[in-house]
Structure 1
Amino acid sequence: MSEDDPKTLVSTDWLAQHLNDPDLRILDASWYLPDMGRDARAEYDAAHIPGARFFDIDDISDQRSDLPHMAPPPEKFVSRLRAMGVGDGHQVVVYDGAGLFSAARVWWLFRLMGKTDVAVLDGGFAKWQAEDRPVEDLPPMVRDRHMTVQRQANLVKDVTQVAASTKLGDATIIDARGAPRFRGEEDEPRPGLRAGHIPTSVNVPYKSVLNDDGTMKSPDALTKVFEDAGVDLSKPAITTCGSGVTAAILSLALERTGHRRHALYDGSWAEWGMFNDLNVETGE
């Protein structure tokens, strides 16, 4: 797989070359945990890649759920994206302000809706700015664009399906949280959640698939990261994390290795850690 793949990951060089393509749509999908002390919308308003629209992960979600930013119903996804001028026939590039943190979640959401012409910007806005590439503070000119979606149910798992996999062993459950949280040695950032991890799951902290500059490791290096962590890449995979955001980084990494049978547990630890009748493991 080449470095630039418009269905998974593109470089800042690629985006700079295609910036004026009429059918390119750029989305700023920045999102931060409260302890990061950053305001994604304010940062977008101050400076963004020319033409970028702001994709609010918390708003474009299933508001009927008590869980954070669960995947939205297809009709809500369509209406929000149409209003942003994003639709059929567009090549979408998603980035975030942390390098590669929340953008993969939106890549996965597009995939869930059956849209495959979507890539994450490798290294994100930080790399774009470090290279002194153009930015603007103007809202983009938006024209409504028709969008059709077809939800791909195989790309998402609910708590019942994940619980079944822990017993059947039919998929490897891969947890993207940091090792101290995985082992239950660190309190969860969301109050009321137990500490630990889903039984049978393995830990691949999302930072382990990234380089120091926030870009994603090469496909060969990614394969080694997964295999060293005990992931059997011949089996289906289920990615999970705290609330379904960084799990998508592992989903993107799996896709980059050529692994095609992966799904994301949307409720993640925000759901599993809440229910006392679900088993929890601690330690390695």
Structure 2
Amino acid sequence: MLDIPSSVVTATWLTQHISYPSIITLDASWFMPGSDRNPKLEWASKRIPGSRFFDFDNVIKEQDSLLPHMLPTAEYFSQQVAKLGICNDSVLIVYDSHGIFSAPRVWWMFKAMGHKNVAVLDGGLSAWEKAGGAIETEQPIIDIPSSKYTATFHPEWVASAQDVVNHLDNEAVTIVDARPLERFTGKQAEPRQGVRSGHMPRAKNLPFPKLVFDGKLASIERLNRHFDKIGKQEQQYIFTCGSGITACILALGAEQTGRNHIAVYDGSWTEWGSDEQFPVVKGD
């Protein structure tokens, strides 16, 4: 059985291993609300050969939640993932068209559901092309034979609003916000209507672009420099952002530095900032 070397793999590694029957590539591209780009249509017109589109924004999400793209139950996740032909032994390589932006979200979802062999393609689709990887442009095969998949929820990867409340005064837990500084301090209004500006008490700011260079994750040395300023390696980390997407970039970066106690606050600022019961701080 093929085992991935890390939660981040290079395009060169993928070109050398993509012929393995256990490897499945997933296009997890997603664009900010208001964008006129359609990630599924872009996948249909240009993709890594054989890749499946992983729609966490509309399909593989908690359907009854008013919050965007929330993690679904293990049962629903299992049903939808099986429709993509994925089984528990599949080696999953997730990519997006930005480089590293939304793919870490799907990496985190699979981690939270107990999948062992899942990684993000460093540099995404662009890196694949630069490495000489083939590109598929004809109409994709939609009717993929279903497989059997059984997800096992691992709650340690996920933080709820109540978890965050419980740890606001806990020095052993570091809350890290991936939003831009202007939104973190409350100087810039939130893009979603009805969501207050500011951040959680004691939260620290690490804007996700600081961890990404030319579409690739920063070096381990640079990642360590950023995270060492925030907290010790053995601490518990809860990552948050606007709606749970870019927080996963921080989770991926932290995991690369050997930080093993990491969780993503799924509701993130969309939930926290829109509920008056949760405290909000403005300024640095």
Instruction: Give the TM-score, by structure 2 length.
Output: 0.94
Q: Which runs of 5+ in 2 are unaligned?
A: none
Distance 1:234 1:184 in 2: 30
Pairing 1:250-265 to 2, within 5 Å after superposition: 250-265=250-265
What CA deviation, in whole Å up to 9, does each residue of 1:38-60 have, x standing for no partner?
21011001100001000001110
Measure how far apart 1:127 and its partner are.
2.0
- CA–CA separation in structure 2 for the residues paired with 1:281 and 1:99: 32
1:84·1:144 contact (CA, 8 Å) conserved in 2? yes
Give the structure 2 partner of residue 224 of structure 1.
225
Corresponding residue number in structure 2 for 1:41: 40
The match for 1:146 is 148
Name the structure 2 match of 1:180.
182
Equivalent-residue separation in structure 2 for 1:203 and 1:281 (angstroms): 13
- Is 1:10–1:122's contact at 8 Å kept on the other side of the alignment? yes
Alpha-carbon distance in 2 for matches of 1:37, 1:214:
21
Provide the rounded CA distance (Å) in 1 between the counterparts of 2:103 and 2:5: 14
CA distance in 2 between counterparts of 1:118 and 1:283 reads 38
| TM-fit CA distance, 1:273 | 0.2
Q: Is 1:214 aligned to 2:206, yes or no? A: no
Give 1:270's aligned residue: 270
1:59-116 per-residue CA deviation (whole Å, 9 max, x = no partner) reads 1000111110000111111111111101121100000111111100000000000002
Q: Partners of 2:38 and 2:132 in 1: how far apart?
A: 22
Identity of aligned residues (%): 39
Partner residue, 2:173: 171
Distance (Å, rounded) in 2 between the aligned partners of 1:232 and 1:195: 28
Match of 1:74, as an amino acid? A
TM-aligned CA deviation for residue 245 of structure 1 = 0.6
Return the offset for 1:231.
Answer: 2.7
The residue type paired with residue 64 of structure 2 is R
User: Structure 1: which amino acid aligns with 2:144?
Assistant: V
1:146-194: CA deviation from partner (whole Å, max 9, x where unpaired): 2122110111011111011112333100101111111111111111100
Cα drift, residue 220 of structure 1: 2.0
Give the corresponding residue for 1:65: 65
Task: Give yes or no for contact 1:172–1:232 (8 Å, CA) kept in 2.
Answer: no
Cα deviation 1:123-157 (Å, max 9, x = unaligned): 11122234453111342472322212211011101
- Report the equivalent of 1:281: 281
Cα distance in 2 for residues equivalent to 1:16 and 1:133: 6
Contact kept? 2:233, 2:258, Cα under 8 Å: no
Instruction: Please name the residue that 1:205 is paired with.
Output: 207
Deviation at residue 224 of structure 1 after TM alignment: 0.4
C-alpha RMSD over aligned residues: 1.5
Q: Could you tell me which residue of structure 1 aligns to residue 133 of structure 2?
A: 133
Q: Deviations over 1:1-59 (max 9, x none)?
A: xxx95440100001111111111011000011124432101100110000100000111
- Partner letter of residue 38 of structure 1? R
Gaps spanning 5+ residues in structure 1: where?
none
Q: For the residues of structure 1 that align with 2:63 and 2:5, how far apart are their CA atoms?
A: 30
Matched-pair contact (CA < 8 Å) for 1:7–1:116: no
Whether the aligned pair in 2 keeps the contact of 1:99 and 1:123 (CA below 8 Å) is yes
For the residue of structure 2 that corresponds to 1:238, the secondary structure is: strand
Contact 1:30 1:103 in 2 (8 A): yes
Structure 2 Cα separation of the partners of residues 104 and 159 of structure 1 = 21
Deviation at 1:283, TM superposition (A): 1.4
Q: Distance in 2 between matches of 1:179 and 1:124?
A: 26
2:86 alignment counterpart: 86
Tell me if the contact between 1:175 and 1:203 (Cα under 8 Å) persists in the aligned partners: yes
Contact 2:71/2:109 (8 A) holds in 1: yes
Hey, what's the Cα distance between the residues in 2 that align with 1:76 and 1:232? Answer: 36
Equivalent AA in structure 2 for residue 26 of structure 1: T
